[in-house]
Chains A and B, each alone.
Chain A
Amino acid sequence: MVEIVFLTPFITGLVAFFLPKIIGRFLLVLTGAAHLTLSFMLWRDQPQAIFDQYFAVTPEGMLSLLVISLLFFLISIYTVGFLKESQIKSEGLFTGAMLVFLATMTMVTLSDHIMVMWIAIEATTLASAPLINTHRSTASLEATWKYVLICSVGIAMALLGSVLVAFSMGQANVGTPISFSALAGVAKTLDPVWLKAGFVFILVGYGTKMGLAPMHTWLPDAHSEAPSPASALLSGVLLNCAFLGIFKTNKIMVAAGLEDFSGGILMVFGLLSILAAATFILKQNEYKRMLAYSSIENMGIIAFGTGVGGLGVYGAVICMLHHSLIKSSLFLSSGNILLGYGDRLIKNTGNLVNGMPRTFVAFFAGFIGIAGFPPFGLFIGELCIIVAAFKAGFHLAVTVFILSLCVIFAGFANQIMKISFEECNTVIKIQEKASMVWPQYLLLLTSLVLCFFIPDSLNQTISDAVTAIGGGLR
């Protein structure tokens, strides 16, 4: 019964292509709700998949699935308001693509077979391409072009990597299916050289999709050109999906006793991404691009934490969770700002606090969260990662990590202060409807609650996911 979770949105998506606006919007929210309930049921009683050699319910996948469906539901509510305000030519395409996108991402989280995982991730690229090109402007076209081409090339590398990993099974155990779980089982017998090679290709491939520097180049363009709900989905959950691929592969590496190799590489890419983010956040002049770079930063943090291991992995998972919640809320708020001021440039915005007070609350709170302040959960994640890095003795790495975080914060805060408080005499073009601020509030509230209280069942899932690659408090 697992497959139904991604089949539902797939079918509704195909239908939505041909539906008139109003029904399409309705269908969007409806599917979001249905998907949410379905994934909760899936989480409650973890059933066998029908095609169980391809699909399985894994803790880390479950975690991202929950995030995906919660985010999608709230975003779909926002989207209704958003579509009313903004005039999009082919709305049917937009809604349909959103739903298919959801379907593909769900498939990623549920797929256990290494090749199926690849198929799903490539599918997410294809499904999200139309979303980025919604505005039909030259810029959005260019963004789409870069997104599709770079990601496809990158993911092709991941395919090669998967092939190599499969090859590393050698003649020894031909019988075993090439599913992550099975591979992790026989990891010790795998040929380390081919495994390493496969990991490298997979890391670079899915890293491209995840936005690790230096393969991140498509990300700021795509995220800033896409309409805000789409950007929220892209950086909120799509990146997690890509990370999931790396995470599962890393699981195999750990099982094969190669965690030093994989961890080192992950940390290097993490640091590179954080540095890249710092470089471009410092003097950024478009707020959506800034948010995109901040996503790169957080992906870097997550990769770093995963590489550090131990408590760091816990931190990474926590970061992944909260980054999705907070960053998507930030993108939604930025959508309001874009509609309100009609301009992407920071210097043409300002005085948000009086202009759009309710958006301001969401936006600034989101910034606080993304900057790693309590009471938002990212704080705990970063703390765990830093502390774990010190414990593992990566002093130089963690120094770079901390310093670049400081630089990023300085740049980020500067821009946010400008947007929020600088004098500005633009007349706000929209009035803030409840449907366009409450989703953000709910997202932030979730993050706030999860910072102080995580229900035991969820906690169980998290710790399962973490211990799978040797994480946890040790």
Chain B
Amino acid sequence: MCQFFSSTFIILLGGFLSLVFARQKKFSKVIAVLFLSGGCLLGLLDAAAKLLNPAGASASFRYLDLFFLSFHVDGLSAFFLTAIFAVSLMAAIYSFHYMENEEGGIKTGVNYFFFSVLIASMALVVTAANILSFMISWEMMSLSSFFLVIYSHESAENRKAGYLYFVFTHVGAMFVLAAFGLIYGHTGSFEFAPMAGVPEAVKILIFVLSFIGFGSKAGVFPFHVWLPHAHPAAPSHISAVMSGVMIKTGIYGILRIYAILDFHTPVFGYITLIAGVISGILGVVYALGQHDIKRLLAYHSVENIGIILIGLGIGMIGAATGNPLVAVLGFAGGILHVLNHSVFKSLLFMGAGMVLHQTGTRSIDALGGLLKGMKITGTTFIIGSLAICGLPPFNGFVSEFFIYMGSFKAIPVGSISFAMSVFAIISLAVIGGLALACFTKVVGVVFQGEPRTKAAENVKENGLAMMVPMGCLAAACVIIGVFPKVFIDMALTAVQALGLDYGRVPVEPFGQITGNITFAALLFFVVVLIVMGIRSIYYKNKTTTKSGTWGCGFTQPTVKMQYTGSSYAGSILEFFSAAAPLSEEHPPIKGRFPLKTHYHSHVNDIAELHMKNVVVRPVFYLFDKLRWMQHGDIHLYIGYILLAIVLLLFFI
């Protein structure tokens, strides 16, 4: 525990110092990056060690003479800690060059300060072991991330994003607090202890409340509205951390509550799974419709949270129906996907950050052909895309494979769980296909083809500190994808912390599965090598010439003729138009020789639309009705006093 606290302390210290020395910009940046990465490294080693040979650790501090702030690290916490520290480490290194052309040392200092607070509070959230410590660190996390979202507050868009995020996170926290309040109300203690004598209806209520609360942080479908606004607004290394790990704390919260409740009912499973399916499919559909690369990635976070929830839902169903194998497969898959998603999503955000940093635009249809200039960025981005599509031999496939196995194993269990697993499997398949479509769009339009605007022409990549993390993360994608054994073991350690009273989970079947994955991946590599060999043989001493693309007989092709992202996704969006109404805007072409016209399309997020109509408007209406109260007439004011007394006298 000591090592953990010292690492968080180092991180905070780094942030504080960079704020102190903010005037000397360079110096403060160096200090910040050094301290942050050092602290993260320390914490990472600690957490990994705790995972590989499981050993719980806890600490508790007296607080205000009346309460305790207690922290505890078990398998689950350690797993999330690993993800948090790993990604934060990479982001910290990445930020060194990313922040270079920021004006104003103060702003940089502030950014690093809140960045460090964010990392530390995330680490504390996943280790908190009672209500007080959890809520304090939770709110600190929300607060620091809010400041990072409105970091560049000059644009109205970002301000809106910040406001949305602020409100959502606070309301979510209130829901969480309500759930904790119910827990305290029945146990009378602040500690996270398994709840024995609590009526089951209350347990379900607690789960639902906390699911809404944590879901609003994780970006589960109806509560994800803030997410696609906030993540693009933040600087890219922050987006990487937020989208990579911060939203996962919501998942952690759900798991932790599930563990505390210690109540295995399929209802939890159904709720989680259905929420997962909806967020998964809609998330990727909306992502397909985006024109802003960071918004697109943000929506993919919604999708991946959906996949994670599907896994957890399967696990809960398995646990409830007494199928250890299903339960463990589902949970392990979901939890492993947490790690995987944090790896490839932060990688993708870093790539997007590099593109933004070098071209100055986030609009997909303004880019093109970057792969020629940005070899490393492009390659790592493509690897990330393959991973997020869940394709072998990359890490996304491993977790999805586990979830698939779990869902299939859940088929014979019972009629409802049959429907559920069919639901899960089909939606996973559809999600996979859509994700593939979406990322072929991104890769194809952003990195391939010809540059569509001036901004994208002859772009180079530079900044070693930005490329190294991307390389490491890409390597991680491949390693986890090919040799998942050790990571699966980590996930299993985490699963044991859920207290599914199966005792020690039998590792053999999982060892077998991971073995198969490794084998298949290697086999595929071998085949690829062979085919490459054949190809090279046939190309030996052959003449390959370069020329323009075959324009199918058209002789003056221009870059404007390229297929745009919007048109690429158009037909698919049409198919989903019920869930994703597409609003287009283009003036009709007039005259025989039309000169100039434009086309603009926007995919409406139905959750966002309905949030306005269902929540905001009624509230305003209700409170407007009450506004006459303050009418300024003193006679009636005195009347209120009299009224209050008269009414109260009735109750004596």
Direct contact of A and B (CB under 8 A): yes
B178: chain A residues at CB < 8 Å are 386, 390, 398-399, 402
Contact of B652 with A149 in the complex, beta carbons under 8 Å:
no
Contact of A353 with B648 in the complex, beta carbons under 8 Å:
no
Supposing A204-B648, A265-B648, A421-B153 touch, asked if A379 and B139 sit within 8 A by C-beta, the answer is yes
Minimum C-beta distance from A222 to chain B (A): 12
Supposing A279-B627, A373-B143 touch, asked if A215 and B644 sit within 8 A by C-beta, the answer is yes
Supposing A204-B645, A391-B188 touch, asked if A409 and B629 sit within 8 A by C-beta, the answer is no
The answer to whether A56 has its CB under 8 Å from any CB of chain B is no
Contact of A417 with B159 in the complex, beta carbons under 8 Å:
yes
Minimum C-beta distance from A308 to chain B (A): 11
The answer to whether A153 has its CB under 8 Å from any CB of chain B is yes
Supposing A197-B649, A214-B644 touch, asked if A353 and B153 sit within 8 A by C-beta, the answer is yes
Cα A473 to Cα B170 with chains together (Å): 26
Contact of A398 with B652 in the complex, beta carbons under 8 Å:
no
Cα A201 to Cα B182 with chains together (Å): 35
| Size category of the binding interface on chain A | 35 or more
Contact of A373 with B139 in the complex, beta carbons under 8 Å:
yes
Closest A residue, CB atoms, query B67: A473
Cα A405 to Cα B178 with chains together (Å): 12
Closest A residue, CB atoms, query B190: A387
Cα A281 to Cα B377 with chains together (Å): 48
The answer to whether B66 has its CB under 8 Å from any CB of chain A is yes
B131: chain A residues at CB < 8 Å are 383, 387
The answer to whether B619 has its CB under 8 Å from any CB of chain A is yes
Supposing A371-B170, A409-B167 touch, asked if A282 and B623 sit within 8 A by C-beta, the answer is yes
Contact of B167 with A413 in the complex, beta carbons under 8 Å:
yes
Minimum C-beta distance from A260 to chain B (A): 11
The listed residue (B136, B159, B166, B638) touching A379 by CB distance below 8 A is: B136
Closest B residue, CB atoms, query A459: B65
Contact of A193 with B645 in the complex, beta carbons under 8 Å:
no
Closest B residue, CB atoms, query A393: B185
Q: Which of A236-288 contact B (CB under 8 A)?
A: 261, 265, 275-276, 278-280, 282-283
Minimum C-beta distance from B332 to chain A (A): 34
Contact of A280 with B174 in the complex, beta carbons under 8 Å:
no
The answer to whether B387 has its CB under 8 Å from any CB of chain A is no
Closest B residue, CB atoms, query A160: B645
The answer to whether B150 has its CB under 8 Å from any CB of chain A is yes
Cα A374 to Cα B134 with chains together (Å): 12
Contact of B637 with A218 in the complex, beta carbons under 8 Å:
yes
The listed residue (B139, B177, B641) touching A215 by CB distance below 8 A is: B641
The answer to whether A389 has its CB under 8 Å from any CB of chain B is yes
Cα A383 to Cα B130 with chains together (Å): 13
Cα A402 to Cα B182 with chains together (Å): 13
Closest B residue, CB atoms, query A208: B641
Report B's interface with A, CB cutoff 8 A.
Answer: 63-67, 131-132, 135-136, 139-140, 142-143, 150, 153, 159, 162-163, 166-167, 170-171, 174, 177-178, 180-182, 184-185, 188, 619-620, 623-624, 626-627, 629-630, 634, 637-638, 640-641, 643-645, 648-649, 651-652
What would 7 A/B residue contacts be, using CB atoms closer than 8 Å?
A204-B644, A275-B626, A383-B135, A386-B181, A387-B180, A456-B65, A473-B67
Report A's interface with B, CB cutoff 8 A.
Answer: 145-146, 149-150, 153-154, 157, 193, 196-197, 200-201, 203-204, 207-208, 214-215, 217-218, 220, 261, 265, 275-276, 278-280, 282-283, 314, 353, 368, 371, 373-375, 379-380, 383, 386-387, 389-391, 393, 398-399, 402, 405-407, 409-410, 413-414, 417, 420-422, 452-454, 456, 459, 463, 472-473
